[in-house]
Amino acid sequence: MAIAEMKRIGLLMMRRDHDQLLKLAQRMGCVHVTDTDLPDDILPRKDAARAAELEAEIARYQWAIRKLNKYDPAKQSMFRPLPDASMDDLEQADQARAQNTIRAVEDLERQAGELRGRESRFRATLDQLAPWLQLDIPVEINRSTRTVRVFTGSASAKGLEGLAADWAGKPAVIKTLLPVKDSLYFWAAVHKGEAERFLQALQAIGYQPVSLPDGTGTPQSQHDKAEKALASLDGQYKSLEENLRKEAEHLPALRLGYEALKAELDREGAQIQMVHTASTSYLYGWVPAAAALGVEAAIKEQFPDTVVNISDPKEEDEPPVLLRNNRVVAPFESIVTGFSMPHPKSLDPTGIMMPFFACFFGMMVSDAGYGIMMALLVPLLIKLVKPSKEGRKLFWVIGIGGVFTVLWGAMYNTWFGFAPWPTLFDPVNDSLPVMILCMALGAVHMFTGLGVAAYLNIRRGQYLDVLCDQLSWFSLVVGLGMLMFPPTAGIGKWMAIGGAFIVLLTAGRDKGNNPIKRLLSGLGALYNVSGWLSDLLSYMRLFGMGLATGVIGMVINLLVGMVADAGFIGIIIAIPLFVGGHLFNAAINILGAYVHASRLQYIEFFGKFFEDGGIAFKPLGYSPRYVRVHDAS
């Protein structure tokens, strides 16, 4: 349970060496590069042009990888470990092959875009031709002449029926075509002498002019040609798909090229933070104290001309925060970092938080059968899936939580929803003892947070703050609790009065010598007693979540039993129903337990002492996405 001690590191190197030295630092993975402590006007910095080029190139790689992933012959999934790659593999990645693949995919995408454009045009043509398919007049002669005027469009169906009757025997030919809602498409040819009168009659029945599509031949012949052309595109699409499938064979090289560029971009980011002259470069940053001598030795061995300066941080420095814990506690660092990084001059709460988190997690899942399943499956999944460092931490949080789930499940006597023997703590049939237990653990949890705050004040020599901010509240809250029990009520009364008196007098000590402001601050602080009560009631979720797990498990077993009573077929159906039901129950309750256990740490526990504001230690290293990077040595 500690925040790793940090050392300042400064490297003055020859300009010719800085690329290789940054590669060495990236391999070591323990140098956090920051902006130098030199004024900006003393030495020029490297411009970001190359970084912008790399970002654009990385975007091309990502696009090509996403495009080819669906054709990947070795399908990736969350249960398939990422392929291994050494640091040497990244530095020697075949970028030429990757670039050829990207250009080929880009060319295929252009062809696909052209095909999609042609397809859209053909479909638009089919839609335009659809109303005119019954018209057997070629489009190229279907236009007005010196003596005949042609009208095409849509109008009211009833109106067209009346129009045709009115113009029977007159110099006009009217053909009705396909209906559109309450309208009909039509074609009409009228002698020019009657054209204006015919147009007025059309307008009276809702005439909407629509031009025939351009082309040659009848609308039906044009429609047939468009359909044939559209059908021919299918073969071209399939050809493109086949070419993409062939290019997907180069995905390993493409992914490795992406990782190499990403590593170069990280080094470029470090170079931007450095300062450079024509012949020298200067790097400033942080390194864990435990690794400082090793880093210095490695740099001196390979770059003897480099000046390495390692020193203690100054009083005003705020070094980056690196949490250091043993193998059992370390997975729970993800809970802390998910909230906020602690201040470098505070403490790492992971070791104190871990037993509470695991305990609360086990109480909420609360089924020993589920706990056994988690404890056994997590190591197996880690071995098979080989998740990332952060993913591995999450797996181990669930695995360790599974061990505590076995303990609490055995205490609650819940085994895959069954209760084979009597127990003192039965959330379903006798809930009061379990509720009291949850409240008691909640009180211990909150007072532990108060104790951590007192420890921080003692470490800083702020003894008055311990009395005013921690001991006073401990006395007040414990005294109020003792009032509930007649044998301790007398002592509890005076403890509560003493604690309240100290809070009232000292809570506003930062308000100066104004007695009214100090009194009002004290009264406001005393109101926080209700906050303590609400925080304590928050721990009833431990009971509620545990009860939900048990009840749902019992209901699943009841349903499975009813199905199994149907005979041999029922038993066959009941087996997957039992397994699936309990897997579902375990999954939703593991998720809920993780969320609610985190919430109890963040609000009820961290709220008592946590000091945030730290910057995470992010050394120059590798952050792969598609491969697992390891040292070839």
- 628: left (phi > 0), else alpha (psi -120 to 50), else beta? beta
- Kindly list the domain boundaries of the chain, sorted by start residue: 2-92+253-311, 143-211, 330-469+477-487+526-608
Which of 227, 224, 216 has the alpha carbon at shortest distance from 119? Answer: 227
Residues 6+ apart with CB under 8 A from 614: 3, 318, 320, 321, 340, 341, 342, 343, 344, 346
Asked if 112 and 244 count as a contact pair (C-beta separation under 8 A), the reply is no
Say if residue 396's pLDDT is above 90: yes
In whole angstroms, what is the distance from residue 390 CA to residue 616 CA?
14
pLDDT, tens only, 87-101: 777 777 778 888 999
- 284: left (phi > 0), else alpha (psi -120 to 50), else beta? beta
Tokens of 439: 């409240």
Q: Which long-range contacts (CB under 8 A, 24 or more apart) does 481-485 make?
A: 481/443
pLDDT at 471: 84
Say if residue 138's pLDDT is above 80: yes
CA distances (Å), origin 446, targets 474, 505, 538, 604, 606: 10, 23, 11, 6, 9
Say if residue 79's pLDDT is above 60: no
Q: How confident is the model at residue 335 (pLDDT cuts 50, 70, 90)?
A: very high
- Give the strand pairing for 6-14 and 280-288: antiparallel
CATH second-level architecture of 143-211? 2-Layer Sandwich (3.30)
Tokens of 400: 């360790």
In whole angstroms, what is the distance from residue 299 CA to residue 310 CA?
12
Fill in the amino acid letter for 619: P
Angle, helix 540-564 to helix 568-599, in steps of 10 degrees: 170
| Least-confidence region, from 94-103, 111-120, 138-147, 266-275 | 138-147
Asked if 267 and 33 count as a contact pair (C-beta separation under 8 A), the reply is no
Say if residue 633's pLDDT is above 60: no
In whole angstroms, what is the distance from residue 32 CA to residue 284 CA?
9
pTM for the model: 0.78
Alpha helices in 527-567 (DSSP H): 529-538, 540-564
CA distances (Å), origin 551, targets 344, 367, 507, 593: 45, 11, 46, 16
Fill in the amino acid letter for 343: H
Say if residue 582's pLDDT is above 70: yes
C-alpha neighbours within 13 Å on the C-beta side of residue 380: 6
pLDDT at 474: 83
Share of the chain above pLDDT 90, in %: 36
pLDDT, tens only, 141-166: 778 888 999 998 888 888 888 888 88
CA angle 112, 115, 121 (to 5 degrees): 145
Say if residue 438's pLDDT is above 60: yes
In whole angstroms, what is the distance from residue 416 CA to residue 428 CA?
14
Average pLDDT of the residues in 325-336: 92
pLDDT, tens only, 497-555: 887 777 777 776 666 666 676 667 767 667 677 778 888 889 999 999 999 998 999 99
Go through the chain and tell me how many residues it has. 633
Give CA 534 to chain center in angstroms.
31
Helices (H) and strands (E) in the chain, counts: 21, 13
What is the C-alpha R_g of the chain? Answer: 38
Average pLDDT of the residues in 14-22: 89
Residues 6+ apart with CB under 8 A from 241: 71
Judged by DSSP in three states, 180 sits in strand
pLDDT at 495: 83
Say if residue 373's pLDDT is above 90: yes
Per-residue DSSP letter, 471: I
In whole angstroms, what is the distance from residue 371 CA to residue 70 CA?
37
Say if residue 463's pLDDT is above 70: yes
Judged by DSSP in three states, 512 sits in coil
CA distances (Å), origin 229, targets 112, 224, 289, 310: 16, 9, 72, 73
Tokens of 577: 């129903």
Tokens of 79: 């249960």
| Least-confidence region, from 79-93, 122-136, 244-258 | 79-93
Q: What is the mean pLDDT of the chain?
A: 86
- Give the strand pairing for 208-209 and 183-191: unpaired
pLDDT at 441: 93
In whole angstroms, what is the distance from residue 317 CA to residue 329 CA?
28
Fill in the amino acid letter for 144: S
Asked if 495 and 479 count as a contact pair (C-beta separation under 8 A), the reply is yes
Question: Residue 622 — φ and ψ, nearest 5°?
Answer: -115, 135
* Distance, first Cα to last Cα, the chain: 31
Q: Between 405 and 422, whose confidence is greater? A: 405
Average pLDDT of the residues in 21-33: 91
